[in-house]
Structure formats: structure tokens, C-alpha cells
Amino acid sequence: MPIRWRLTLFNTLAIGLILLAVGLGLFFLLRGLLLSDLRQTVAERARAAAAEIREVDDEDEAIDGEDIEDLTLDGAFILVRDGEGDVIFQTVNLASSPENDPLWRRALEEGRAVSGTAALSAEAPDHVVAVPVSAPRNPARVVEAGMSLEPVEQALAAFRTALLIGLAAGLVISAAGSYLLARLALAPVDAVVRAAEEMGSTDLSGRLPVANPQDEIGRLAATINALLARTEAAFGRQREALGRQRRFAADASHELRTPLTSIAGYARMLERWALKDPDAAREGAAAIRREAERMQHLVEELLALARGDEGRPLELGRADLAEVAEESAAAARAAAGDRVSVVWEPPEGPVEAVFDRERVRQALAALLDNAVRYTPEGGRVSVRALRRDGKAAVRVEDTGPGIPEEQLGMIFERFYRVDGTRSRRLGGAGLGLSIARQIAEAHGGAIEVRSVPGEGSSFTLLLPQEGPRKL
């Protein structure tokens, strides 16, 4: 059963039960009021008639019918019985016998007023009150006053009919109102369903309509829209990642093909001429060794990136970042020789942090290799450790050609080179900065770069002092 019909049925039943309870309450309240008023009237008439009878002291004195008649103007009737139950006075002709009216006997026996229902008038049943009287010189012993219950029953029957009609009308109105209310309340759901059905399996740009963001359905639609936005962003990142992977595979294939082509060429040269020419053999062997080393370096960089992409766990420990930076600067100085001056600027004290010593050393080696590689002969590369904004940092500055501002956002892309021809001639594959940024981000840090074309560049490795934040 659809939700709107279930809501309609539930609301209709609930309203129907409420109307029924209210109707029954009113019915019994009205019944009690009518019966109470009738009983009170009959009791007053009985006491008044009994008082009139007590005033008759002589046996031969007749009962004043006019005074008694005044007590019956509102539909009541009066009977006066002797000790045997015979009627000695009545206001109307009643179809009564002692057997049909046990109340007078109870009143005589108990010596007090009693009330009940009896069939005395033509409009029976009647409510009757019997009051015993004590008149030594008068045969009257019991005075009975009564009123027919038929008017009360007629009033209650009319009220009951009106109540049933009102209840039926209320049920119809409540059912129609509940259905319209449920339809209006669920209209946004229908709109959401239609919008969801119109969305394609690959098109996540559509959004669900939000009629009222403050109600439950609006919040649900807004939540689904937020989920769609996150899913769309995730798919976008996945597409970008796949695109980068394709470009990465193509670039890696191209970079590996170059040394392999050189190795194959020198191998053919050795096969044809080197056996007769020792100089050519030495030249070919040296070239093959250089290309093999270049290929080995490239493969190691690719392996480092692949391990970083897999999220290889870090071997964290507290250490002095300045000590690692000094060691990296010494290694870069030895590799640069006399071509470039690599200067270490010691800090005033230790720069301690929690990091993976070998991975950070690898990142610094990549930054220094990049600085030394692009700094012209006679240039200068300076290295120093420092604290900044609650983080441990290592800054590498060079006096190289600098990087154009429009290319600063792309230098960390894999295989990207600012000057492709010059970079290839210098032996770079364009992976060093990608590896350095990957290691920094794995530690919860970052790499900042500033560059002025013609003056040089500055790369700053930032690491949290307490290590990467645990999620």
C-alpha cells in the first residue's frame, strides 16, 4: 500500500476514534443531564404531593384536586394509594394495578421514599417516586409521582442519529483532508523520484529539487544532493587519476625507451665494430653503463612513486631535522663537485620533529638534486633548517634561472619539465619534485615554492613537529 494511502487510513482512523469518543461522551453526558432533571422533577412533585396529603386530617375530607393538578403541569402524574395499594386519587386514568407497581409496597415496608421504573402510564416506561405518608385520619398511605421516559428516549434517539450522521460526515471529510494533506506532503518525494529517474548512470551533474530545505524531505534531498556532489567529485578525481595514470604510463614508456634505444644502438655497434676497435668498445661500454644507470635511476623513482601511491607506512621516530638536512647537503655537495657551491647554514639549535628519516632524506635529496641540476656553473645552493608556525622546515634556495609564475602550479606534476629540452639534456626525468611532495604530504606536511625568473627559486619542506595526524 502506498505511503499516502497508509497516512490517509491512519489519520482517518485516528480522527474517527476521536470523534467517536467525543460523541459517546456527549451522548452519555446529555443522557445523564436529561435523566437527572427528570428524576429531580419527579422527586419534587412526589414530596409536594405528600405534603398536600398530610394536610388532610379528616377521613371524610376530600383531597384538594386543584392543588395536586398544579403539580402535573409539566407532564408529571400523581397517584395516591391506601395501605392495600388501591388507588384513591389519580390525576389521569392510569393502567395500573398493585402488581404492575412494586414501588408503593417497598415505600410502605421501608418507611422511606423509593424510586424506580414502572409501567403506569400509556407512555410507559415511567420513572416513579413513591413517598410514604403518615395521616392517622386519612386512608392515604403512599403518594406516587411519575413522568414518562419516552420524551428523554426520543431526544436521545434524535441526538444519536445526528451524532452518527456527524461522525460519518467527519470521517469522509477527514479522509479527504488526510489524502490531500498526504499528497501535498509527499509531492516533493514524487519530484525527487522523477528527478532521480531522469539522471543517467554516468551523469552525476543533476540535482534533486529541494522545495523546503527546513522540512524532513528537504533535508533528505539536500543530503542526497551533497552525496551526489561528493560522488561526482570522486568520479572526477578518478577520471583525473586515470588520465594521469595513462599519461604516466606513456611518459614512463617514453623515458624508458630512450635509454633502451641507446643501449640497443651501442650494443649493435659493439657487435659490428668494437671487436676490432678497442676505443670504440670502451666508448660503447661506457655509454651502455651510463644509460643503464639512468634507466636504473628512473626505475627507482617510478618505484618510489608507486610505493607512495600505495600508502606505504612510514617508519616514524623523533629526530633532528637539521641533522638530516646537513647530511643531505653534504651528499649534494659531493655530487656537485666544483660546478656549484652547496652551502649549509646551521640553525641556532636542534629542529626536532617526528618523521621517517629515510623518506625525508629522499625528499631532501630530490630537492637538492633539482636545485644543483638547474643552477648554472659557479652558482650557489643554500640549505638551512628552521622552525616556522609550529612546524619543522628545511629551505633549499638556489641561484638558478627561476620558474615562470604560470608554471609554478605544474612543476610537481609527474614528468613535467619547465624546459623539456634542457631538462632531458641535464638528465632529469621530471619525477624528483613529485616524489618530494608525495613524501611531504604523507607526513601531513607540504612543500612551498617561491621563484623569481632570472634570480632563483626557493623550496621549503614543512613537516608537523608531532608527525602526521592519525585519522
What is the pLDDT tens value at each position of the chain, 471 positions in all?
677 778 788 888 888 889 889 989 999 999 999 999 999 988 888 888 888 777 765 554 445 556 666 677 777 888 888 877 777 877 776 655 555 677 878 888 888 888 888 887 777 788 889 888 876 666 778 888 888 888 889 999 999 999 899 888 888 888 888 888 877 777 777 776 777 776 665 666 666 677 666 777 777 777 877 877 777 777 777 777 677 667 666 656 655 665 667 677 767 766 666 566 677 677 777 777 776 776 676 666 666 666 656 567 778 888 898 999 999 898 888 888 888 888 998 888 888 889 888 888 888 888 888 888 888 888 999 999 998 888 899 999 998 888 887 777 777 776 666 654 444 444 455 677 888 888 888 888 888 889 888 888 899 999 998 878 754
- If residue 309 lies in a helix (H) or strand (E), which one and from where to where? helix 278-309
pLDDT of residue 395: 92
pLDDT of residue 226: 80
pLDDT of residue 422: 43
pLDDT of residue 421: 43
Fold of the CATH domain 3-154:
Beta-Lactamase (3.30.450)
User: Strands 142-148, 341-345: parallel, antiparallel or unpaired by DSSP?
Assistant: unpaired
Q: By the 8 A CB rule, do 345 and 384 touch?
A: yes
In angstroms, the CA 446 to CA 440 distance is 5
For domain 314-464, give the CATH number: 3.30.565.10
For residue 436 the three cell numbers come to 618530494
pLDDT of residue 416: 63
pLDDT of residue 33: 92
Enumerate residues 6+ apart whose C-beta is below 8 A from 77: 90, 91, 92, 94, 120, 121, 126, 145, 146, 147
pLDDT of residue 436: 84
The pTM for the full model equals 0.45
Enumerate residues 6+ apart whose C-beta is below 8 A from 68: 49, 52, 78, 89, 91
Give CATH 3.30.450.20 domain extents, the chain: 3-154
User: Coil, strand or helix: which one is 87?
Assistant: strand
Distance between alpha carbon 93 and the CA centroid of its chain, in Å? Answer: 81
CATH classification of 202-312 is 1.20.1250.20, yes or no? no
Enumerate residues 6+ apart whose C-beta is below 8 A from 192: 208, 209, 217, 220, 221, 224
Q: Report DSSP state, residue 264.
A: H
Give CATH 3.30.565.10 domain extents, the chain: 314-464
Q: By the 8 A CB rule, do 149 and 125 touch?
A: yes
